[in-house]
Structure 1
Amino acid sequence: MNFRGVGVPVAPGSDRNSGLENLLEQAGWSRTQLANAVNRTAGEAGMTLKYDQSAVSHWLSGTQPRAQVRPVIIEVLERKLGRPVTYAEAGLRSPKPGPAVDSTDTTDSLLDLGRADMDPSRRGVLAAGLYSAALAVPLFAGEAYAEERERSVRPTGRIGAAEVATVRTMTDRIADILDELGAGHARPMAAAFLVNTVAPYLRASATGPVRRDMLSAASDLTYLTGWMAMYERAHGLGQQYYVKALRLAQDASDHVTYCRTLRGMSLQASNLRYGHKALELADSAAEAAPDAGPRLVAFLRGQQAHASSMVGDRHRAFERLREAEVALSRADSRRESIGGYDQAAYQFHVAHVLYETRDLPGSIAALKTSLRVQPKQERQGRLHANAVMAQRQFEFGHIEEACTTWGTFLDDYVGLSSARGDEHFATMRKRIAPYGKLRAARELQERSRQVAGMKG
């Protein structure tokens, strides 16, 4: 979508938008800076905007921006100010309400979101949804809330332990497909299963223990679906799934899945370079898990380490890494299929911390260790790790070594459906384009052309 107009005119003599003016002053932005921020952020939602300071001047004089643009303005202000901003505070009329995915009923809203995600005609719109850096996270409510939730269920049939096992098994299978074929194939399956099977189970009658188990199983699958959406660069959609996973975990009194989801949200924030938000979410996850087992502790400490390094807290970052290493050494040999944490994941966190603290050779060495100990079946994780390592080798000036690593990346890329893989592929081609005199680069360019033809 391409919007060039300023917005909806108002009647002569309308009051200036003092709310937006105050927020602009708080942000320390000029009118041009606000316009540029709106243009950049709109790109995340598939819109091409070409606003300049004159458009902002019109908004400040009382002109209402187009309805499609108002949420973008709110989001950029929230990101800059680091807090929620309402439409009224910004002097903007709220756009017409969207689909029922914002319903307060978790099951209904999950059903609506899953149906929209299943629909190819709407998937692009969902994927273009904006990530909110100022989103308020629902707090863990505990047993009392879970009991209240049980009384509010609308029974449609009855479920038992077998139905819970079905959801758990299907979640494991989807995770396997994710590793083997990529999120592009696995996520539509997850959305369909949520809609056609899990949502009816959530509405069925059950004993208290079975209901909690089902809510917990549903939360796990919803978390996985959100993770896949995030991995596919559909960050707004991933965030919606994550919030629903949190609420299901609340209903189930499931601290583990609640904390794991918060950690996933922290990872998403770190991917988008919101260091302070990533640290806030990682710390919230750790605080909500006082009785966590050693593997989950390692899982949480590793993310705290990464987020701490992003905000410049070197001491805390390395302290958290040490805590993660100690906790992981105490964990048993079993590895969860969903959101598990192992030596490969730990070394990946080490690589992130070293990179943020400007130790590029150390980061590359940690990535090599991570890849060496990574389970062979995890093609998607290996794809990402090789792409990251190649980019860092390239940054370090080791062009031929980077080309070799990118070649290994291509081995997995040809068999995976992954938006993140597509992004890495585009980055690779851009990086090596100027190096045609190097044999390794020429060979990689030729192979990349062949792969592009296969993918196209």
Structure 2
Amino acid sequence: MSDGETPMNQKLADAFGRSGLSQGDLARRVAARARLYGHRHVNPDASNVRRWLQGGMPRDPLPKIIADVFSDVFKRRVTTYDLGLGESPDLDRPLTYSPSFQETVESVTELGRADMDRRKFLAASPFVTAAGVGPSRDWLLSTLDQEPEPGPRVRLEDVTSVRNMFATFQEMDVMQGGGSGRLVLTEYMNQHVYPLLRRTHSEDVRRALCSAAAEQTYLLGWMAYDSGEHGTAQRYLIQALRLAEESGDVALGAHVLAGMADQATLLGSPSEGRRLAQAGRQGLRSAHSPACLADLWALEARALALLGDKAATAKAVAESEAAFTRVVRDDEPEWAKFIDGAYLHGEYANAFRDLNQADQSAEHARQSIEYAREQKRARRGAMSHAALAVSHLQKQDLEAAHATGVRTLDLARQVKSSRCVEAAQDIQHRMVPFGRHPLVADFNERVRQFVTAA
């Protein structure tokens, strides 16, 4: 190689050699995929391909499109990183709510691949507060229809198999925490579900498949959220919302917005959390799921409490309770089964806790604890015990808070959930004003041991 000559892109050359394509074939496929994504100005030829192979860097959006073409050829996810066209997988791509169904499929597949590989840069990806604005707006306003690519047709039986697995994974999350089954679900989605999205379907099968994929993509996001990987969680939730739109399942889309609202509020953006919950409620005007509506009102109450609006919080809790009275369990979808007394009273308890209304918080915490105990739900029990412990501290009852805090730790040890860790640490932080009291020292040591083990 002479001085100043661009080095060959060996990764791209290796993939090109294995593909069996000619330079003209690759150029035509890239141009066709670009048109499918709406980039009609992108029209490379063989000379462009030759430059890429020799190390020339194609301009955006070509690297993503080239990676998608090779993904089709090899029947597995190929990223820009794999082709030497990016320093790492494009982790901003799953933050985009694309109008193209095909690009959505590629985004969620690339995200799943990076998650399954457990790449460090994915775990460190940031939560972007404003990223929910466009998706929630587009979900409300858009009805989009893109046809999938040719390939082996998907049958309704394939979708039923996917849907039947959802209950198993959701039960694993509810009973054992998001850190328990997430890797298994990630592998299942990458090996069995996301590949189905790239095949052809009749319209009814396509919608059913998108609904099933949205459910489980949401669950992946929720598991990441429960594990404290908020950037990963946000990316899954945005793509789940897009898949829900493609399915035409409005209630499922509202459910995904509830998860996005919960995350935004937890991460210190209650105004954004409230807006996302409101978007979900507006969408539910054309669908029927009292359980989802109860959840959205509860999450709006959580946001309002952090905003300090006592009257609006109380109203939102009352609206949530009213919606829940209309729930007919057998009429609700599988994903709504966790929205019950244990969950809702726990959310109400947290809302009143944030308003420093200890009596109301304690009342709802105790109801949540009782439901959770009957169902043997350790994660929900731990979090509601934490809310009860804080209510004791707000009433200056350190002895009761310590006893309840110890019970929080006992339950939290039974699950893999960063939220349980954070709940225990919140109690610890709130004990600081009690100084060097022996009960404070004892609880600090218990938390230290728990966090070390976790």
Q: What is the TM-score of this pair, normalised by structure 2?
A: 0.70
CA-based RMSD of the aligned residues comes to 2.7
Structure 1 unmatched ranges of 5 or more: 1-95
The separation in 1 between residues aligned to 2:283 and 2:313, in whole angstroms, is 20
Q: Deviations over 1:300-351 (max 9, x none)?
A: 2222222233323333322222222122112113465534322223322322
- Choose from 112, 115, 118 the match for 1:117: 115
Alignment of 1:287 onto 2:277: no
Post-superposition shift, 1:441?
5.4
Alignment of 1:233 onto 2:228: yes
8 A Cα contact 2:211 2:249, kept in partner: yes
The separation in 2 between residues aligned to 1:108 and 1:250, in whole angstroms, is 16
Q: Structure 1 pair 352/452, CA: closer, same or farther in 2 (3 Å)?
A: closer
Aligned to 1:213, the other structure's residue is in SS state helix
- 1:196 is aligned to 191
The separation in 2 between residues aligned to 1:420 and 1:395, in whole angstroms, is 21
Alignment of 1:371 onto 2:361: no
Post-superposition shift, 1:235?
1.4
The separation in 2 between residues aligned to 1:137 and 1:143, in whole angstroms, is 11
Aligned to 2:284, the other structure's residue is in SS state coil
Q: Deviations over 1:369-405 (max 9, x none)?
A: 1111235232222222223332343343222212222
8 A Cα contact 1:347 1:370, kept in partner: yes
Q: Which amino acid aligns with 1:117?
A: D
After TM superposition, the structure 1 = structure 2 runs for residues 300-339 of structure 1, keeping only pairs within 5 Å, are: 300-334=296-330, 337-339=334-336
Q: Structure 1 pair 112/294, CA: closer, same or farther in 2 (3 Å)?
A: same
After TM superposition, the structure 1 = structure 2 runs for residues 130-149 of structure 1, keeping only pairs within 5 Å, are: 130-135=126-131, 136-138=133-135, 139-140=138-139, 144-145=143-144, 148-149=145-146
After TM superposition, the structure 1 = structure 2 runs for residues 220-299 of structure 1, keeping only pairs within 5 Å, are: 220-290=215-285, 291-299=287-295
**Aligned residue pairs, count:** 353
The separation in 1 between residues aligned to 2:211 and 2:263, in whole angstroms, is 22
Select between 276-285 and 395-404 the one with higher mean Cα deviation: 395-404
8 A Cα contact 1:178 1:380, kept in partner: no
Post-superposition shift, 1:198?
0.7
Q: Structure 1 pair 144/351, CA: closer, same or farther in 2 (3 Å)?
A: closer
- 2:409 is aligned to 410
Aligned to 2:365, the other structure's residue is in SS state helix
Q: Which amino acid aligns with 1:306?
A: R
Aligned to 1:137, the other structure's residue is in SS state helix
Aligned to 1:301, the other structure's residue is in SS state helix
Structure 2 unmatched ranges of 5 or more: 1-85
- 1:46 is aligned to none
Select between 351-360 and 240-249 the one with higher mean Cα deviation: 351-360
Q: Structure 1 pair 366/144, CA: closer, same or farther in 2 (3 Å)?
A: closer
The separation in 1 between residues aligned to 2:442 and 2:202, in whole angstroms, is 62
Post-superposition shift, 1:273?
2.1
Q: Deviations over 1:1-47 (max 9, x none)?
A: xxxxxxxxxxxxxxxxxxxxxxxxxxxxxxxxxxxxxxxxxxxxxxx
Q: What is the TM-score of this pair, normalised by structure 1?
A: 0.70
After TM superposition, the structure 1 = structure 2 runs for residues 42-191 of structure 1, keeping only pairs within 5 Å, are: 99-101=89-91, 102=93, 104=98, 105-120=103-118, 122=119, 124-135=120-131, 136-138=133-135, 139-140=138-139, 144-145=143-144, 148-149=145-146, 151=147, 153-191=148-186
Paired-residue identity, %: 26
